[in-house]
Amino acid sequence: MPQPQLKPGWAETFGVAGSLSDPHFRALAQLIEAQVGIKLPPAKRFMLEGRLQKRVRALGLSDMGQYVDALFNADQFEDELVHLIDVVTTNKTDFFREPAHFDFVRNTAIPELMKLRGGGPQRNLKLWSAAASTGMEAYTMAIVLDDMIRAGLRADFRILGTDISNPVLRMAQKAIYDIEALTPVPEHLAKRYFLRSRDSSRAECRVVPELRSRVNFQRMNLMDTTYPVDRDVDIIFCRNVLIYFDKPTQRKVVTRLCSHLRPGGYLMVGHSESMVHNVVPGLKQIRPTIFTV
Ligand SMILES: C[S@@+](CC[C@H](N)C(=O)[O-])C[C@H]1O[C@@H](n2cnc3c(N)ncnc32)[C@H](O)[C@@H]1O
């Protein structure tokens, strides 16, 4: 039986639960772009409404209009903004995602960096996962580096993971994942670097403490004008986040990231983001998604 439908314009006029009025959608889209750099074209309105429903319910509100009023209330703004950002960001990630980058780190980047600056117990390689999500990218870097050290690389390493979203950072810190997440991890590395939950009813695993102690996570917004990060990073991964930003924002973010690389350091972007070489002069492209300074 056909469901009764609201006539066009009624939802907007009456602020029906579950829908955003035009001015409210525009206000949220502007706020999100200014704060996070993520553009929300009108086509994303349905997605935003769907994702905000949970937040409206969690706050005990009855409709989106009340939500927008609550958000723009000065007393609650800072706290609620964090939740809004979580609602609009996409956190998809995997261990060994886009594996060619990890092959490049092992076979080219680290050997070149060692040639340039020498190795030894004092040599502390610094890697940064600049949109870390739940930490799989940062832990994959740690697996590759630790495996190289076991194979004779004379260096130590530290890895920083940053992201704007608090819930994903909490997961990254815990480093507990569903067993299925290990599918892309080569079996011998999965055995060495993950512990199965002792409780057999939980199909979970945890990154071993030796790796966890070398990886640190902190909240950081790529839109900030300065980043609280060292200026001698060897390798930065900033993958699958630039795609959300417009060209001027990409240029600013990539320029700022590169200012944290040591000479000869590398920047990796996602495979759908290879256009960044057009936006930052002086960045040398050595593979479609790999750059050096
Ligand atoms: C699709 S995930 C990518 C994760 C990982 N880099 C990968 O490629 O597997 C994008 C991540 O970027 C984060 N993000 C979005 N906007 C951001 C911003 N302005 N500053 C920092 N992180 C942001 C999101 O919270 C999300 O965790």
- Domain assignments of the chain as residue spans, ordered by start: 10-88, 100-292
- Contacts of 36 by beta carbon, 8 Å cutoff, 6+ apart: 85, 88, 89, 164, 221, 223, 244
Nearest CA to ligand 1 atom 12: 131
SS3 at position 135: coil
> H or E stretch including 290?
strand 290-292
Q: What is the pLDDT of residues 22-39, one digit of tens each?
A: 999 999 999 999 988 888
Buried/exposed code over 176-185 (b: 16+ C-beta within 10 A; e: otherwise): bbeeebbeeb
* pLDDT over 70, % of the chain: 92
Question: Looking at residue 27, what is its pLDDT?
Answer: 92
Question: Looking at residue 156, what is its pLDDT?
Answer: 95
Question: Looking at residue 12, what is its pLDDT?
Answer: 46
Selecting among 55, 97, 163, 214, the annotated active-site residue is: 163
Low-confidence ranges of the chain (pLDDT < 50): 1-16
Ligand 1, residues 90, 163, 267, 269: which to mutate, most atoms within 8 A of Cβ? Answer: 163
Evaluate: CB of 222 within 6 angstroms of ligand 1: yes
Q: Which fold has domain 10-88?
A: Chemotaxis Receptor Methyltransferase Cher; domain 1 (1.10.155)
Q: What superfamily would CATH give domain 100-292? A: Vaccinia Virus protein VP39 (3.40.50.150)
Evaluate: CB of 273 within 6 angstroms of ligand 1: no
- Contacts of 208 by beta carbon, 8 Å cutoff, 6+ apart: 192, 193, 194, 195
CA 265, CA 161: separation in Å to the nearest integer?
Answer: 17
Centroid of ligand 1 to alpha carbon of 47 (angstroms): 18
- Clarify whether 163 is annotated catalytic: yes
